Amino acid sequence: MPTPNELYDEAVGYRDKGDKPGAISKLEEAVAMDSAFAIGHGMLAKLYADLAEVDKAIHHAKRVVELEPDDTFSYTALSVIYQRCGKIPEAEHAKAIALNKQMGFE
């Protein structure tokens, strides 16, 4: 049985070949095995945003922030996902959190 990291690597291969649904399938399997697999959630957020599956994209981007609350990039990525999904106030809020963390205020 493959590990989450191995499934992630397979997903990258699918994505690089243009098979986003195939990549999503591998990543969903990986996060089902390890719900704290942040990098898998991050790629799922991006892929779902690419496919205009807004709710799923936001869900996975939020999960990354839950798993890595002190990581500035996690909030930046959440902001980008919100923006791509047309949720501008939420994007601005996430961006503000990222900036505050970067400046050491949070």
How many angstroms separate the first and last alpha carbons of the chain?
40
What is the arithmetic mean of pLDDT over 69-80?
A: 95
Instruction: Compute the mean pLDDT over every residue in the chain, rounded to the nearest whole number.
Output: 96
Read off the pLDDT of each residue in 81-92 and give the average, rounded to a whole number. Answer: 96
Q: How many CA atoms lie within 13 A of 53 on its CB side?
A: 14
Query: Does 106 score more than 80 pLDDT?
Result: no
Q: Which of 43, 39, 102 has its CA nearest to residue 94?
A: 102
Residue 75 has pLDDT above 90, yes or no: yes
Number of Cα atoms under 13 Å in the Cβ half of residue 97? 18
What are the pLDDT digits (tens) for 21-72? Answer: 999 999 999 999 999 999 999 999 999 999 999 999 999 999 999 999 999 9
Its pTM stands at 0.93
CATH number of the domain encompassing residue 81: 1.25.40.10
Q: Is the pLDDT of residue 105 over 90?
A: no
pLDDT on residue 31: 98
Domain count, the chain: 1
Q: What is the mean pLDDT of residues 75-84?
A: 96
d(CA 68, CA 39): 10
Position 102 confidence tier, pLDDT thresholds 50, 70, 90: confident
The residue range of the domain holding 51 is 4-103
